[in-house]
C-alpha cells in the first residue's frame, strides 16, 4: 500500500473526527508510519502489520484523545513504539511530551523517530514507570495499552501534578476493572472515542488521582 492511500485515509479520517492538521503535520504523521512499518519488519515493534489498518489503528486512534489532554506537560506511560505520544506530539507542537518505556529496542526506535521527524517537543526516557522520578510532575499521564486501570493508578499516580489527571485508553469497557479503580480516582469520567476505520468500541477513562 502506497503513501498516497495512507494520505487519503488520514485526510478523510481527520475530517470525520473534526480535527484540523496542516499539510506539514499530516506529512510528518505519514513519515512516522513509514518509519514504523520499516522498523517493524525487523524489530517487531507492534502487532499491527496490515498496511490497510495502520492509519486508523495507529494514527487516528492516537489522535482521538486530543480534546482530552490537560495542561502543557504530558507523559505517555508504556509508549512502546511511540503510541499515542508521537502522533500527539506532531498534532500539538505547543505541548511537551515525555515518552516512557522500559523496552530498549522500542525506546531506540522512538529516539530515532524524534530525530527524523524533528520533534523538538518530545523527550524519550527508558525507565520503568515505578522507578521514574522526574524533576516536574505531569498535567496529563496517559497510556494506550499499559496495564489495568487500577495497576496504572498504583504505578503512575505519583507522576500526576496536583490538578492533573490520568487518562487510560481502553477498548470495550470492563465494569470489574472500573469498580476496582473507583476508590483511587477523583471524579472518574468515561468518554466514548470515535475512530474511523476501526471495529469495536474505544473509550478513554479520565481520573483525577488521589495522591
Average pLDDT for 49-78: 92
Instruction: Report residue 208's pLDDT band, with 50, 70 and 90 as the boundaries.
Output: confident
Determine which helix (DSSP H) or strand (DSSP E) holds 126, and give its type and residue range: strand 122-126
What's the pLDDT score for residue 2? Answer: 55
Choice among 11-15, 76-80, 142-146, 203-207 with the minimum mean pLDDT: 142-146
C-alpha cell of residue 208: 483525577
Confirm if 35 and 82 have CB atoms less than 8 A apart: no
What's the pLDDT score for residue 209? Answer: 61
Cα gap 30→59, rounded to integer Å: 9
Cα gap 87→90, rounded to integer Å: 5
pTM of the model: 0.94
Q: How far is CA 39 from CA 26, 69, 124, 156, in A?
A: 20, 29, 18, 29
Cα gap 137→73, rounded to integer Å: 8
Question: Quick one: which of 194, 17, 153, 44 has its CA closest to 106?
Answer: 44
Residues above pLDDT 70, as percent of the chain: 97
> Any residues with CB less than 8 A from the CB of 27 and at least 6 apart, and which?
none
What angle separates helix 3-16 from helix 23-43, to the nearest 10 degrees?
A: 120
Going by the DSSP 8-state scheme, the letter that residue 130 receives in this structure is G
pLDDT digits (tens, 9 = 90+) for 15-35: 999 999 999 999 999 999 999
Instruction: Report residue 187's pLDDT band, with 50, 70 and 90 as the boundaries.
Output: confident
Maximum alpha-carbon separation in the chain: 48
What's the pLDDT score for residue 211? Answer: 45
* Domains detected in the chain: 3-209 (3.40.50.150)
Of residues 148 and 1, the one with the higher pLDDT is: 148
Amino acid at each position: 500500500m502506497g503513501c498516497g492511500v495512507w494520505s487519503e485515509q488520514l485526510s478523510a479520517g481527520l475530517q470525520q473526527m473534526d480535527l484540523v492538521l496542516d499539510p506539514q503535520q499530516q506529512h510528518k504523521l505519514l513519515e512516522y508510519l513509514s518509519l514504523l512499518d520499516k522498523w517493524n519488519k525487523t524489530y517487531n515493534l507492534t502487532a499491527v502489520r496490515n498496511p490497510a489498518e495502520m492509519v486508523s489503528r495507529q494514527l487516528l486512534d492516537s489522535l482521538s484523545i486530543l480534546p482530552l489532554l490537560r495542561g502543557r506537560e504530558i507523559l505517555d506511560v508504556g509508549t512502546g513504539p511511540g503510541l499515542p505520544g508521537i502522533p500527539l506530539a506532531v498534532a500539538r507542537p505547543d505541548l511537551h511530551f515525555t515518552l516512557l518505556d522500559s523496552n530498549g529496542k522500542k525506546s531506540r526506535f522512538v529516539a530515532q523517530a524524534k530525530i527524523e521527524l524533528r520533534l523538538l517537543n518530545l523527550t524519550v526516557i527508558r525507565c520503568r514507570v515505578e522507578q521514574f522520578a522526574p524533576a516536574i510532575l505531569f498535567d496529563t499521564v496517559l497510556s494506550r495499552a499499559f496495564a489495568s486501570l487500577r495497576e496504572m493508578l498504583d504505578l503512575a499516580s505519583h507522576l500526576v501534578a496536583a490538578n492533573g489527571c490520568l487518562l487510560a485508553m481502553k477498548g470495550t469497557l470492563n465494569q470489574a476493572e472500573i469498580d476496582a479503580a473507583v476508590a483511587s480516582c477523583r471524579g472518574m469520567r468515561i468518554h466514548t472515542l470515535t475512530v474511523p476505520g476501526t471495529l469495536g468500541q474505544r473509550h478513554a477513562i479520565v481520573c483525577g488521582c488521589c495522591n
